[in-house]
Structure 1
Amino acid sequence: MTSFEVGDFVWAKMTGYPYWPAKVVEPDKDVKKPSKKVEMYFIRFYGTGDFAWTKADLIHKYDENKEKYSLGSKRSGFLDAVKSIEHAVERREKGLPDTSDEEEEESEPESEGSDDQPLAKKAKSEQGSSMETAATPPAKKRRKVAKKSLPTREESTPTTEQRNLTTDSRLSPDTTADADSTTNIVPKDIIPTDKSIGFLGLGIMGVPMALNLVKAGHEVTVWNRSQARCTPLVEAGAKQGTSPADVVQHCDIIFSCVSDANAVRDLVIGNTGVLQGISAGKGYIEMSTVDSDTIKEISEAITMRGGRFLEAPVSGNKKSAEQGKLVILAAGDRSLYMDAYSCFEALGKKTFFLGELGSGGNTKLIVNMLMGSFMASLAEGLSLAEKAGVDQYTLLDVLNLSDIACPLVKTKGAAILEGHFPASFPLKHQQKDMRLSLQMGEELEQPLHVAGAANELYKRTKAIGFGDRDMSCVYRAVNA
C-alpha cells in the first residue's frame, strides 16, 4: 500500500463522490483520529477547504492518477477544485508556497452562522471524532417614501394588470397577491404604513426580511444579540436599538424572528426584554416557529400589558426571504394584522389570515413536517441509487421531469450531489420542527410514523455535527 507524507497532492474519495483533488495535511490539535484499525491520513479537499480522516486505500498520488480521475465529474465545483490543485502544483514547482489554505480562509464570511462556512470545519469543532463521515468534497440608502396611511380594502384591490400576475385574486386582508413564481424579484407597489416598525432577531431569515421592510419605505429599528448583524440594516437606512425593550418603546409594531421557544421567551420576559417596553396599543408579531403553548404564554404576557399579539410564522427559506416571496401564516389580533399589512406585502408573496391564535403555528409545523419527511426520502433515494450503480445525476434529471418535480427536489438534490450545504434552512431548525410536529400528533392522538422515522435521521445528522448546515445535509446520515 502506498504511503503518504504531509504536503502530498493526492486524489481522495468520500462516500457518494468521485475521487477529489486534495492534499495530505497535519490534523488540528482538537481533531481526534477515528478509532479504526486501518491506516488513515488527514486530508484537505480543494475547492472548499473541508477536512476529513480518510482511509489510505481511498487515497492515490495526484500526478500518477491525473488522467484517470480528472474527468470524474463535469460539475463546476469539481472543475474548480482541479484548477485549485493545479495552481498549487504549479506554485510548488516554482518554489512558492501553496496559498490555497489562506485564500479559502479569507473567503469565509465572518458572521456567526455563516452560510458558506466549509462543512467539515464547522463540524470538527463540535465533534472531532465524526470527521471521517463529516467531510464533503463539494463544488463549491433607504429610498425616501412619503408616508401614507394603510390602504383601504377598495384601494388595495389588485388592478387587472396585477391580477394577471396572480393565481388567486382574493382581496386583502385575507391574502396578499401572489408574486410571479420565477426566480426574479417582482417589483411591488407598496404603500408603507406610517407606523414605526421594530425588528428583533437578525439571523439567516431576519436580515433579508428586515432589509425588505426598509427597502419598501418603512421606518425600521432593529436589534440583535450580536450587534454586528445590525450593520447592513443600519447602512440601508434602519435605526439600531440598544435592547429589545428600547426597540419596543420607540416602535408601534414589533416583529420577532428567532430560533426556538427558549429564545422567544428570553426575548420577551428576559432582562431588558419586550415586556419592559410594551404598553397599550403596541403590536407584537411573533414570526418564529414554536409550539402552541409558547405562543399562548407570550400572547398572554403581551396582552396583559395592553399590547396586541399576532403570530405569523413563515414558510420559505433564505432565498425566498431575500426575494420577498415568503408565505406568511398569520393568526390572532386582526386589527394588528391590518395595521401590519404593508409589512406583510414587503415580506411575502402571499399572506393568510387563519383566525384564532395557534392556527398559524400549527399550519407551519404541518408544512415543515411534510417537507422534512420528503427531504429525508429524497436523501434515501439518492443514496440507494449510488449503491445500486444508478447515476445520481441522471436520477435527479428524471425526478425533475416526473410528477414529483418541485423546487425542493431541484435545489436540495443538487446540493446533495455537489456536497455543498449552505444553510438555506438549518438542519437543527428542521429537526426542531419535526419534534414539535410529533409532539402535536401525540397530543391529538394522531400517529405520525413516517415523520417519526424521518425525525430520527435528522437527530442522527445533528448528533454528528451538522446541525448548522442545511437540512439537505440529512444525506450525511443516510449515506454514512
Structure 2
Amino acid sequence: MKITFIGLGIMGSRMAANLLKTGADLTVYNRSSEAMQALVAKGATAANSITDAVKNADIVFSMLATPEVVRNLFFGQKGALAAMQPEAIWADCTTVNPSFSKEAALEAQQYGIRFADTPVAGTKPQAQNAELVFFAGGDDATLATIAPYLDAMGAKTITLGTTGQGASFKMLVNIMLAQSMIIFSEAVILGEKMGIDKDFLLNTLPNLAVAAPFTKFKAEMVRQDDYEVQFPLEWMQKDLHLAALTAYEHQQPLYLANLAKELFASASKQGMSRLDFAAIHRYLETK
C-alpha cells in the first residue's frame, strides 16, 4: 500500500522512520524541508505540497500540533481530504479533543474518506524505539487495515470503539500524566525542604507503589536540571486546555486538571514552553 505521513516533528519523524524500516512505500510532507530530507535519505519520497503528498495514498497518517493545524491542512476544498482518493484512510495521530475527532470524521465522510483517530501514549524515546501505545477509534475494517502499520510504529494498540474514543482515552491519559508530574515534583521539593537528600528522593520515590511509573524517566531530568524536550511543555498545556473544553461540553468539573493547566500556563509564560513538560519541576522550585 502507498502510505503518506504528514507532520515530522519530534514524534512524527521517528514514527515515519519506523515505517520505512518495514519497507513501506512512504511519502512524507512537512512544513520545513529539513525533516523530510532526513527521511528521504532513508528511502522516503518528499512531496512538494500536502495535496501532492496525499493524492495517491491508500493510508495517510498525520501527527500535528493542534486541532487548528489539522483543520487548516485537511479541511475544505483546498485541504488534503479533497485531494485524497475515495475510500482511502486518514488516521490522525494528533492529540485533539474528542469533539474535534468526530468533526474530522464527518469532514472525511464528505469526501468518501475513511477515518480513524489514533493518538499515542509515549514521547520521543518510545517513538524512536517503536514502543508507542496507540489508542484507536474507528470501525473494525478501517482499524484492521491500518493495524500492521500501527504495529510497525508501536508496541501495542488499544481499540476503543467508535470514532472519538481514541481521542477521549488519550485525554484521560494526559490529564493524569500532567498531574502526576506535578505531584512528584511537589513531593521532591518538600522532601528537600525537610532536609532529605535530593538524590535519595529521586532514586527512591519513583520506585514506590504510589508513584507514576514514568517518573523514573523524568527523575534524571530533575537531577540534572536539564529538560531537553521529549514532550514539549506547551503541548501539555494545550492538552489540558482541550480537556477543559471537553469537560465543559459534558458539564463535568475538572478541579485539579484545571489547576494543573494554569500551572503549566504559568511555566510557559516564564519561558519554559519549548522545554520538556517535566520542567514544571523547575517552575515549582521557584514558588
TM-score using structure 1 length: 0.58
1:274 to 69, 80, 85: 80
Change (3 A) 1:271 1:281: closer
2:129 is the counterpart of 1:323: yes
2:118 is the counterpart of 1:312: yes
CA shift digits 1:199-256 (9 cap, x unpaired): 0000000001000001012110000001111111101101111111111112111000
Q: Equivalents in 2 of 1:466, 1:394: separation in Å?
A: 26
Q: Secondary structure at the match of 2:60?
A: strand
Identity of aligned residues (%): 34
What does 1:306-455 align with in structure 2 at a 5 Å threshold? 306-455=112-261
Kept in 2, the 8 Å contact 1:241–1:247? The answer is yes
| Aligned residue pair count | 286
Q: Residue 51 of structure 2 aligns to which amino acid in structure 1?
A: A
State the Cα distance separating 1:405 from its structure 2 match.
4.6
Q: Equivalents in 1 of 2:248, 2:79: separation in Å?
A: 33
Q: Secondary structure at the match of 1:353?
A: strand
State the Cα distance separating 1:297 from its structure 2 match.
2.1
Kept in 2, the 8 Å contact 1:312–1:328? The answer is yes
Q: Secondary structure at the match of 2:106?
A: helix
Change (3 A) 1:211 1:270: farther
State the Cα distance separating 1:270 from its structure 2 match.
6.6
Structure that is richer in helix per residue: 2
State the Cα distance separating 1:291 from its structure 2 match.
1.2
Q: Equivalents in 1 of 2:77, 2:44: separation in Å?
A: 24
Q: Secondary structure at the match of 1:236?
A: coil
What does 1:176-255 align with in structure 2 at a 5 Å threshold? 195-255=1-61
Q: Secondary structure at the match of 2:90?
A: strand
Q: Equivalents in 2 of 1:271, 1:443: separation in Å?
A: 29
Kept in 2, the 8 Å contact 1:278–1:307? The answer is yes
Change (3 A) 1:270 1:465: farther
Q: Equivalents in 1 of 2:206, 2:109: separation in Å?
A: 48
TM-score using structure 2 length: 0.95
Kept in 2, the 8 Å contact 1:278–1:302? The answer is no
1:260 to 66, 78, 83: 66
Pick the structure with greater CA Rg. 1
- Aligned partner of 2:262 in structure 1 is 456
Kept in 2, the 8 Å contact 1:423–1:470? The answer is yes
State the Cα distance separating 1:389 from its structure 2 match.
2.3
- Aligned partner of 2:101 in structure 1 is 295
Q: Equivalents in 2 of 1:225, 1:451: separation in Å?
A: 32
Kept in 1, the 8 Å contact 2:73–2:80? The answer is yes
- Aligned partner of 1:80 in structure 2 is none
State the Cα distance separating 1:453 from its structure 2 match.
1.7
Pairwise CA RMSD: 1.5
**Structure 2 spans left out of the alignment, 5+ residues:** none
State the Cα distance separating 1:257 from its structure 2 match.
0.3
2:58 is the counterpart of 1:283: no
